[in-house]
């Protein structure tokens, strides 16, 4: 199940060329809070990869402008393939010509809290409480549906007002 989730990730990459992790099967039990990570990715277009640990993999979005701490900013977040959990530790330069070629650096990392994150992601509306060094507090991720009601890869990520 978890393995299938990384099929697209692996198919896009040549692990003889890139030092990115291939992805091991997820460990079964984990009691601590799930992690999140934001990696700055200086690819053909600079963006920030926002990743949330869900069921042993990293659900991932490419956020061109990165997360904002201002609730008035609605930032586009394009969902990308699930990444292996070890990817949270990846920093380095993916060779030019390889998928995602460019420099990856850690921008922030921490744990998050959310209620029923799997179901919420499926429904296209999830609230996560980030506990990072830069990204802190509640953020909503909202899937944008196309006008025909088809499922889309585009989401918005918006900081929620602190109470």
* Closest distance of CB 100 from Mn ion, Å: 5
Nearer to Mn ion, 49 or 53 (CB): 49
Residues 44-83 contacting Mn ion, CB under 5 A = 49
CA-based nearest residue to 137, from 145, 149, 129: 129
Cβ-proximal residue to Mn ion, closest one: 41
CA 18 to chain centre: 19
Beta carbon nearer to Mn ion, 65 or 125? 65
Q: Which of 41, 51, 143, 159 binds Mn ion (CB under 5 A)?
A: 41
Nearer to Mn ion, 99 or 129 (CB): 99
Q: Provide the 10 A C-beta neighbour count for residue 78.
A: 14
- Rounded distance between C-alpha atoms, residue 75 and residue 52, angstroms: 17
- Where would I find the beta strands (DSSP E) of 25-150? 35-42, 46-54, 57-63, 74-84, 92-94, 102-113, 125-131, 136-143
Number of residues that bind Mn ion (CB under 5 A): 2
CB of 43 to Mn ion, least distance (A): 6
Q: Give me the residues that bind Mn ion (CB under 5 A), please.
A: 41, 49
């Amino acid at each position: 199940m978890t393995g299938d989730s990384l099929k697209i990730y692996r198919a896009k990459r040549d692990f003889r060329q890139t030092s990115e992790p291939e992805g091991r099967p997820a460990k079964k039990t984990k009691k601590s809070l799930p992690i999140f990570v934001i990696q700055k990715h200086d690819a053909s277009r600079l963006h920030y990869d926002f990743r949330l640990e869900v069921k042993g993999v990293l659900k991932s979005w490419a956020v061109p402008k990165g997360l904002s701490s201002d609730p008035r900013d609605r930032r586009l977040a394009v969902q990308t393939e699930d990444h292996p959990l070890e990817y949270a530790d990846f920093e380095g330069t993916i060779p030019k010509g390889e998928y995602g070629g460019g420099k990856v650096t850690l921008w922030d990392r921490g744990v998050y809290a959310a209620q029923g994150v799997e179901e919420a992601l499926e429904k296209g509306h999830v609230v996560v409480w980030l506990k990072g060094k830069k990204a802190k507090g509640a953020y909503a991720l909202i899937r944008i549906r196309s006008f025909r009601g088809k499922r889309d890869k585009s989401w918005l990520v918006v900081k929620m007002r602190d109470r």
